[in-house]
Amino acid sequence: MTSTVFITGATSGFGEATARRFADAGWKLVLTGRRKERLDALCAELSAKTEVHGLVLDVRDRQAVEAAIASLPPTFDKLQALVNNAGLALGVEAAQNCSLDDWETMVDTNIKGLIYTTRLLLPRLIAHGRGASILNVGSVAGNYPYPGSNVYGGTKAFVGQFSLSLRCDLRGTGVRVSNIEPGLCESEFSLVRFGGDQAKYDATYAGAEPIQPQDIAETIFWILNQPAHININSLELMPVSQDWAGFSIDRSKG
Ligand code: NDP
Ligand code: 8X3
């Protein structure tokens, strides 16, 4: 039986690259995103390789997610893997200067959207049993603070802890749970974060040889194709150019 993977946020970046990687390997795909034109174009392209079903939806909209999943054609009933990838960061301002609307959007997308798809698809993953997987896309920002990571980092810390807790609850079902925690990767992520500012986007990646979406897709493909008795709990990756700054100290009292 052909395996099926459900990927949220497939209209760009990691999600799109991951869809291509799994299509190349012949997996059936359920792909989601808000931008219909992009989703339609990707589904049309990949349908030359495999069966693809697109769901135009906003993961923040619980009813829309429920309706979309309920509408899946029977041929996509059996699910082997869920890639919870849809997410975003908005801004790098200090907390005291941040927009509460931006904070809410990050919580609604990165936390609430992720728990909606997880909870709604769990019965299908459990029905698959041994060899099924949930792959959550966390971030190094969930492990280490940096100025301006505030709520974004908090949402990704949630993803890490939720992933670990899920593993406990899924004991005996055969369903695996993994959290990948990438560092600097080149994608529209930074255009979104900087409100479309191309100069800030360029400065983010200049000279850094960042990770590319295809690298992340390979990592996800590797994790989801491990033997069924192995669970990759978490996998943190950075470009070689990135490491940790020292502790910072306010010296204004001197
Ligand atoms: P992109 O901006 O390229 O892709 C984000 C994807 O998420 C898009 O397909 C977008 O689709 C989708 N998305 C965003 N909001 C929603 C929503 N409300 N409903 C449905 N889909 C949504 O960024 P990346 O590929 O880089 O990011 C993917 C994930 O990786 C995110 O969770 C991000 O936090 C994480 N990450 C990124 C890193 C990086 O440096 N790039 C590093 C570590 C983690 P659409 O707009 O069409 O809805
Ligand atoms: C994205 C990576 O370092 O910009 O999650 O927070 S970082």
Angle at 12 between CA 9 and CA 161, to 5 degrees: 40
Burial label for 218, CB within 10 Å (0-12, 13-18, 19+), is: middle
Q: Nearest ligand, CA of residue 192?
A: 1
List average pLDDT for each run of 10 residues in the chain, which is 254 residues long. Answer: 95 98 98 98 98 98 98 95 98 98 98 98 98 98 97 98 98 98 98 98 98 98 98 98 94 93
Distance 56 CA to ligand 1 centre (A): 15
- Among protein residues, the one whose CA lies closest to atom 4 of ligand 2: 184
Return the pLDDT at 116: 98
Task: Look at ligand 1, atom 38, and give the residue with the nearest C-alpha.
Answer: 185
Distance CA 29, CA 242 (A): 33
**152 catalytic per annotation:** yes
Question: What is the CA(26)–ligand 1 centre distance, in A?
Answer: 24
The number of the ligand nearest the C-alpha atom of 141 reads: 2
> Closest ligand to 159 CA?
1
Pairwise CA distance, residues 46 & 105, whole Å: 30
**Rounded CA separation 184/170 (Å):** 31
Name 30's bridge partners: 6, 53
Name the active-site residue from 116, 144, 146, 152. Answer: 152
Atom of ligand 2 nearest to the CA of 141: 6
How many CB atoms are located within 10 Å of the residue 134 CB? 26
pLDDT at 254: 86
Pocket of ligand 1 (CB under 6 A): 9-15, 33-35, 58-60, 85-88, 109, 113, 137, 139, 182, 184-185, 187-189, 192, 213
Alpha carbon of 89 to ligand 1 centroid (Å): 8
Instruction: Quote the pTM value.
Output: 0.98
- What per-residue confidence (pLDDT) applies to 55? 98
Atom of ligand 1 nearest to the CA of 35: 47
Whole-angstrom distance, CA of residue 61 vs CA of residue 74: 23
Å from CA of 254 to ligand 1 middle: 43
Residue 164's pLDDT is what?
Answer: 98
